[in-house]
Amino acid sequence: MRSGFLNFFQPPNYPDPERYIRARNAHTILLGTLGLTVLFLIYSFFFPPYTQIVVAILAIALEFGLLALLRSGRINLAGSLLTLALWSAILYEVILYGGIRDTGFAAFIPIIIIAGLIMGGRSAIGLTGITLLASVGLAYAENRGWLPAYQEVSLGSVIISHAISLVTAALLLDLSTRSITFVARRAID
DSSP state, 48? Answer: S
pLDDT (0 to 100) of residue 1: 62
Do the Cβ atoms of 168 and 110 come closer than 8 Å?
yes
Mean pLDDT by 10 residues, the chain (189 residues): 70 85 93 93 88 94 95 93 95 86 88 93 95 94 86 82 89 89 79
Strand ranges (DSSP E) for the chain? none
pLDDT (0 to 100) of residue 189: 74
pLDDT (0 to 100) of residue 98: 75
For the entire predicted model, the pTM comes to 0.85
pLDDT (0 to 100) of residue 5: 65
pLDDT (0 to 100) of residue 100: 84
Do the Cβ atoms of 128 and 120 come closer than 8 Å?
no
What gap in Å lies between CA 82 and CA 185, rounded to an integer?
29
What gap in Å lies between CA 94 and CA 136, rounded to an integer?
13
